[in-house]
Amino acid sequence: MLPACSEGGDDNPPRTDAGMDAGAGGDTDAGAGEESDAGADAGAGEDAGADAGAGEDAGADAGAESDAGAESDAGMDAGVGEDSDAGTDAGADAGDDYPGPSNEPSTCPDDVLLCELFDEGMTPPPYWTVHEDHATLQVDGTRTRNGAGALHIITEDGHDGREQVVSTIANAQRRIDAFGTRLFVRAHVYMRSLPRIFGQMGTVFMLANLDEDFGGVELQVMQDSGFALDDWTGREGQGWTPQPEPILVGMAAGRWVCLEWEVHRESTSSTHGDMRVYVDGMLAHDFVNIGMRAFNSITVGYGFVHPLGPSGSETWLDNVVVSTRRIGCD
């Protein structure tokens, strides 16, 4: 695990801004866990909470879900180390077609904390707060996995964070019930290309607490199709952790991918736990000893907090679900 503000040089640019992967661009140091304006970085701070608070009960009534314990091994049954072609589509551009909405219907699983299908066509979706930094985000029907709409993100090309402080990222953030011991985030993701240069990390998901238990973790995609975690929880050992090579199961470009993120800790007082990433139901990597907080917001989108020149990208996300049990891909 590398330190949160590592001296990684140009290949692994250091993280100097607390919630920057959430798309706001403030200047608080996440490693120090300060709160001066990092809440605004990650999700518009208190206002975002107020906006999303009205939707607390819209996400679902799962709450703490007493049956979560019964699901303690729900994420353990996926294959490990199996050969997969998911990691072979490295940053190749997948084309510029816009097939339009899918004819496949959208459905929400029962008893989940949050389900967002993006089929109402509203930008921002109800109860979400959108952030754009040299990027655009809209809900449209240019490409969907199911139903009428999906989250559509385009980042601008040609920005280099080594020359100036700049980010190219757009995302949507929403409050959720505070994380207890187990949480699953699932989305269908379509990327035209993976990051096109070594060391440029594309952030897809972020879990954070923007209040008194401040801190967060981001799930990122790498050029080699592997994943990485940026841990800025302020816990011992926080830092940037990549999936080790060889990448047997990784992200793919040019097709819809079912991306799942499992978060687990032994108790609500545990300061560290594990995070697992699944691609199309297969375990990509198990990240261990990751800092934990009572995460109370989810951020979804795409882009680069530290772009390195080739910063253009186009990505769609559909069928976002947050639950205390594993949902699967359908």
> What phi-psi label fits residue 303: left (phi over 0), alpha (psi between -120 and 50 degrees) or beta?
left
Helix (H, G, I), strand (E, B) or coil at 316: strand
41 Cα distance to chain centroid: 15
Q: Give me the mean pLDDT over the 232-237 stretch.
A: 97
Q: How far apart are CA 165 and CA 153, in angstroms?
A: 21
Model pLDDT for residues 197-211, shown as the tens digit of each residue: 999 999 999 999 989
Q: What structural domains and CATH numbers belong to the chain?
A: 14-323 (2.60.120.200)
Q: Give me the mean pLDDT over the 297-321 stretch.
A: 98
Sign (positive or negative) of CA dihedral 307, 5, 24, 54: positive
Q: How far apart are CA 57 and CA 61, in angstroms?
A: 6
Which of 39-43, 70-74, 294-298 has maximum average pLDDT?
294-298
Higher pLDDT, 109 or 14: 109
Query: pTM of the entire structure?
Result: 0.75
Amino acid at 44: A
Helix (H, G, I), strand (E, B) or coil at 66: helix
The reported pLDDT for the residue numbered 283 is: 99
Does 88 score more than 90 pLDDT? Answer: no
**Among residues 141, 178, 161, which one has the least CA distance to residue 268?**
178
The reported pLDDT for the residue numbered 202 is: 99
Place of tokens 């952790």: 241
**Among residues 308, 290, 44, which one has the least CA distance to residue 201?**
308
Helix (H, G, I), strand (E, B) or coil at 80: strand
